[in-house]
Amino acid sequence: MLRRAFYVCALVAGLAGLAASSARAVTVDAFANSSSGGSGEATGVVLTAGQAFTVTVALSDLWSAGALPRWSNADGLIVPLVATGSDESGEAAGTVIGSIFPLWTQDGFTAPYGSLVGQIGSGAFFLIGTSFSGLAYASGELSLYYWDSNNYDNTGSISATIDAAAVPGPIVGAGLPGLLTAMGGLVVLARRRRNQGCVT
């Protein structure tokens, strides 16, 4: 009975480990991490080509490209934005703090001013905004940028959460024998047609 419970629990633990992911929060500064005049925020998240990952930023997290009305969230200056009285702008509630700006093109890539943009290694820029989910187009470290034409009057920062899925690969070391043992044990158990849950 206990052996059977061990096999089932070992298999569950092994499969859970394969599906594991790691989340990391990083701060991206509109001045220091500007695509024009700054440098990308190195996230410490190293991706493998084809690896699934997400980046999320709160809609209420704001930064600015300069004098009013240039406040936006990580989606950039794409909609009019009104102060709440308690947001990062410091303006009174009802004040128009953001408006629609034209797009900015840099290094062959076009995105809204004030948007959060990513880069993997030294590859092409890509739009992240407040919510991104996709596959890495290359292998390398993910860097994040504030997208604009100059950084001299940029202010504020946003917090981005990056969640990279575990990369499937060959199971090596002590994990392989344990997983094979657990799978073999399940075959034996299936033949016996007994049903018992994990023992904790």
Residues 172, 15: Cα–Cα separation, whole Å: 14
Helices (H), the chain: 2-18, 175-192
Q: In one letter, which amino acid is 11?
A: L
Indicate the pTM of the whole model: 0.76
Domains parsed from the chain with CATH numbers: 1-20+167-200 (no CATH), 21-165 (2.60.120.430)
Contact 91, 97 (CB under 8 A): yes
Residues 159, 28: Cα–Cα separation, whole Å: 6
pLDDT tens digits for the chain (200 residues)? 545 544 444 444 444 444 455 799 999 999 999 999 999 999 999 999 999 999 999 999 999 999 999 999 999 999 999 999 999 999 999 999 999 999 999 999 999 999 999 999 999 999 999 999 999 999 999 999 999 999 999 999 999 999 999 876 554 444 545 544 545 554 544 555 555 554 44
Residues 15, 53: Cα–Cα separation, whole Å: 19
Residues 142, 136: Cα–Cα separation, whole Å: 9
